[in-house]
Amino acid sequence: MTWDHVELDIVGKVAVISIAREEAMNSLNLPVLADLQDALKHVSRSDAKVIVLTGKGKAFTAGGDVKAMTQAEDPEDFLYKLGGNIHKVVNAIRDSPRPVIGAINGAAVGAGLGIALACDVKIAGRSAMFTTGFLRVGLAPGCGTRLLALHAGAARSMEMLLTSRNVKADEALEIGLVSEVVDDDALMDRAMEVANILAEKPRIAMARAKSLMQRAYVNDLDEQLAVERKYLSVSGGTDEFREGSNAFAEKRKPNFDKFD
């Protein structure tokens, strides 16, 4: 399925969403963001269990469309709307019960870095490059500061933010922005390999695991333990648990596909 600026391919249990505005390094304007939101909604109504998010061509996304900003009749109003729609995409990724794998090819700049960091699993091509970028064009950061701080820590994230320097893939792996770096020509194969591994997992338990990890960043210990206890308990009433525990006892591989 194709929108003007986004492509969606569902391969088995994996939905591949590609930002497709190659002529502008997949930069984000209001139509691109609307297409992304619609594609994510479409996947939410599908049988797909995992999402792979990537960019067509040489960039993941170069962030907000600076040309559109400069041409806006009212830049303040435009940036307010643009920021709100970027945040909707970030929240849709974070709130999705499906794990989202970021297959990060080329540049992830500004809001593009925020969207990349919103993904649950981040796999970078060797030529990937990450930068906050906002200060380069005289903007305060509009997306990703909290996610950057959670990934890179206070000192490194502040340094990245204020210098707006380029972080290459190997350093991104070292400081925790991504979980893996592969050769560019192997990026999508590796992302699909990981996606298919996740697609074999129990859908409900996987959604709860994703939710728990996100809550772990904001809950205090007692709050987190309470949610863990709740999710553990209610999982005991699912067909997934019965299949998984029976498979364990019978020393066989569980088949969670029959519950999808």
Same domain, 75 and 156: yes
Residue 1, in any domain of the structure: no
Q: Which class for 214: exposed (0-12), middle (13-18), buried (19 or more C-beta within 10 A)?
A: middle
Same domain, 180 and 55: yes
Same domain, 146 and 213: no
pLDDT of res. 129: 98
The domain that holds 235 is classified in CATH as 1.10.12.10
d(CA 89, CA 199): 22
Letter for the amino acid at 99? P
Same domain, 213 and 182: no
pLDDT in tens, 184-200: 999 999 999 999 999 99
Same domain, 58 and 182: yes
The domain that holds 93 is classified in CATH as 3.90.226.10
Tell me the CA distances in angstroms from 96 to 37, 67, 77, 120, one per residue in order: 12, 31, 29, 10
pLDDT of res. 1: 82
CA 239-240-246 angle, 5° bins: 90
DSSP 6: E
d(CA 228, CA 235): 10
Domain count across the chain: 2
Domain of residue 36, residue span? 6-199
Low-confidence ranges of the chain (pLDDT < 50): none
Same domain, 162 and 122: yes
pLDDT of res. 230: 97
d(CA 66, CA 58): 18
d(CA 63, CA 9): 23
CB 53 within 8 A of CB 101: yes
DSSP 65: -
d(CA 115, CA 108): 8
Same domain, 128 and 148: yes
